Amino acid sequence: MYWHVRSIVLDHNDADDVLQNTFIKIYRNVASFKADSKIYTWMYRIATNEALTFLKLKAKRSNISNEELRDNTIKNLVSDVYFEGDEIQLKLQKAIATLPEKQQLVFKMKYFGEHTYEELSDILETSVGGLKSSYHIAVKKITEILSNNETF
């Protein structure tokens, strides 16, 4: 779950904070879990929502837009001691950052998290067809950006 959250917030320390909030929320609400989905997808839904809420609040507290926050976070990846990616990985992260939020989320969860469309459908509470479309569009955009060697 750490890597899922980290793929959304990108920063190690932020991921730790979100994960802590996620597990507190899971602990407080486990008694109300209805078992109409797998506990795994329920937990990932909470983590996803916590990560997205965290980013919105962080941008608001900093008086910047969500896009500015995302750009700043990408720039900070280079100096992040916990970022183990190379130049190609950094370019990929920058390309992903150009996508709309939903496409970013679907791409990261499918590509990095290797979730099935059915799992994504349960976690994100959306249709499999919509997810496939979002993923396909995201892959196409990222491929285009990377193949054109666009600089950021």
Q: What is the CATH number of the domain that holds 72?
A: 1.20.140
Residue 46 has pLDDT above 90, yes or no: yes
- Show the DSSP H helices in the chain as ranges: 2-9, 12-29, 39-61, 66-77, 87-97, 101-107, 117-124, 128-147
Pick the more confident residue, 136 or 65.
Answer: 136
Over residues 30-56, the mean pLDDT reads: 90
Is residue 82 assigned to a domain? yes
User: Quick one: tokens of 116?
Assistant: 């099935």
pLDDT over 70 percentage in the chain: 91
Calpha distance 49→51 (Å, rounded): 5
Q: Which residues contact 9 (CB under 8 A, 6 or more apart)?
A: 15, 18, 51, 54, 55, 73
Is residue 12 assigned to a domain? yes
Q: Work out how many domains the chain is built from and give that number.
A: 1
Is residue 120 assigned to a domain? yes
The parent domain of residue 49 ranges over 2-147
Is residue 136 assigned to a domain? yes
> In this predicted model, what pLDDT tens digit does every residue of 77-133 receive, in sequence order?
766 666 666 677 778 888 888 899 899 999 999 998 888 999 999 999 899 999 999
